[in-house]
């Protein structure tokens, strides 16, 4: 396997660090702001962004794993360089530079010994740091996968025109029920606690379908206690 140059290593390092930081940001911070448009379009836009985040997260993990493999084959350290932030350099390169400084009289022998010891320690720390970065990158991938999965489920529910919600009795009659939204029609399955033929009920819709609240009017057959009836209702307030 041909080992890449220091410039290639620097590029891998920069990308991996940036991508790992990106995927560890709170999920909400990565979502595109909604503009009050159709909810399905907003969810699809968020899902597209999430999939891009997932691709970046996987690439970050792969890049960091490659860096670790290279560090084990050819030990290197991260050296601060003006104009380049940090640059990976092989331990042998840095060792040669330290020895050259001693030979040319720029540093004493004692200073050279200290620098070489520090170099060995930094090489070990580089491997340990890359292992930690890989763990973070894996967590990032898992987190983004879960976020994308949740968005995909939400999109599928919206495409099907359904969702979750609840309806509670607030007027005539006495019944409880569960609501499902399909377009502009709210379908409720009522279970009667008393005889009921008509009634006005409050309704709320949760995160699983279009949010909102209002009232609805239910008209149906007389129900005996415990009977269940499913009916479509017309929203009369609250949009």
Quick: pLDDT tens for 28-73.
Answer: 433 444 443 478 888 889 999 999 999 999 988 888 888 888 888 8
User: Which pLDDT belongs to residue 122?
Assistant: 85
Burial tier of 86 (Cβ tally within 10 Å: 0-12, 13-18, 19+): middle
Domain holding 47, by residue range, is 6-160
pTM equals 0.47
Question: Is there a domain that residue 1 lies in?
Answer: no
> Of 110, 135, 160, which one is at a domain's C-terminal end?
160
Same domain (yes/no): 130, 185 = no
Question: Is there a domain that residue 137 lies in?
Answer: yes
C-alpha–C-alpha distance, residues 140 and 125, integer Å: 22
Question: Is there a domain that residue 183 lies in?
Answer: yes
Beta carbons of 47 and 151 less than 8 angstroms apart: yes
Same domain (yes/no): 96, 145 = yes
Question: Is there a domain that residue 98 lies in?
Answer: yes
Question: Is there a domain that residue 58 lies in?
Answer: yes
User: Which pLDDT belongs to residue 120?
Assistant: 87
Same domain (yes/no): 201, 186 = yes
82: domain CATH number is 1.10.287
Between the CA of residue 87 and those of 64, 79, 80, 159, 175, what are the distances in Å? 15, 5, 6, 49, 70
> Of 131, 160, 189, which one is at a domain's C-terminal end?
160
Using 70 as the pLDDT threshold, list the residues of the chain that sit under it.
1-37, 80-86, 161-239
Same domain (yes/no): 31, 109 = yes
Same domain (yes/no): 47, 153 = yes
User: Which pLDDT belongs to residue 49?
Assistant: 92
Residue-wise over 122-156: b if at least 16 C-beta within 10 A, else e? Answer: bbeebeeebeebbebbeebbebbeebbeebeebbe
Same domain (yes/no): 144, 35 = yes
Same domain (yes/no): 169, 153 = no
Alpha helices, H only, 74-108: 91-103
| 3-class secondary structure, 46 | helix
Same domain (yes/no): 37, 140 = yes
Same domain (yes/no): 176, 221 = yes
Question: Is there a domain that residue 31 lies in?
Answer: yes
> Of 111, 128, 160, which one is at a domain's C-terminal end?
160
Total structural domains in the chain? 2
Same domain (yes/no): 148, 218 = no
| 3-class secondary structure, 126 | helix
Distance of CA 3 to the CA centre of its chain: 33
User: Which pLDDT belongs to residue 50?
Assistant: 93
Same domain (yes/no): 115, 23 = yes
Question: Is there a domain that residue 69 lies in?
Answer: yes
Burial tier of 174 (Cβ tally within 10 Å: 0-12, 13-18, 19+): middle
Question: Is there a domain that residue 135 lies in?
Answer: yes
Same domain (yes/no): 91, 201 = no
User: Which pLDDT belongs to residue 52?
Assistant: 92
């Amino acid at each position: 396997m041909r080992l890449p140059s220091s410039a290639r290593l620097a590029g891998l390092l920069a990308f991996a660090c940036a991508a790992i930081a990106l995927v560890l940001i709170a999920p909400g911070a990565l979502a595109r702001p909604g503009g009050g448009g159709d909810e399905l379009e907003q969810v699809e836009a968020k899902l597209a962004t999430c999939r891009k985040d997932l691709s970046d997260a996987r690439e970050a993990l792969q890049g960091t794993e490659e860096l670790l493999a290279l560090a084990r084959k050819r030990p290197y350290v991260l050296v601060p360089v003006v104009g380049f932030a940090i640059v990976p350099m092989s331990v042998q390169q840095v060792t040669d530079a330290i020895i050259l400084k001693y030979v040319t009289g720029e540093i004493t022998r004692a200073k050279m010994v200290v620098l070489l010891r520090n170099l060995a320690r930094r090489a070990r720390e580089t491997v340990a740091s890359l292992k930690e970065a890989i763990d973070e990158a894996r967590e990032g991938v898992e987190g983004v996968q879960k976020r994308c999965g949740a968005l995909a489920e939400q999109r599928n529910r919206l495409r099907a025109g359904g969702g979750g919600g609840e309806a509670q009795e607030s007027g005539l009659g006495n019944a409880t029920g569960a609501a499902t939204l399909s377009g502009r029609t709210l379908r409720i399955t009522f279970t009667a606690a008393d005889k009921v033929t008509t009634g006005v009920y409050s309704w709320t819709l949760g995160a699983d379908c279009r949010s909102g609240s209002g009232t609805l009017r239910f008209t149906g057959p007389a129900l005996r206690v415990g009977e269940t009836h499913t009916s479509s209702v017309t929203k009369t307030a609250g949009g």
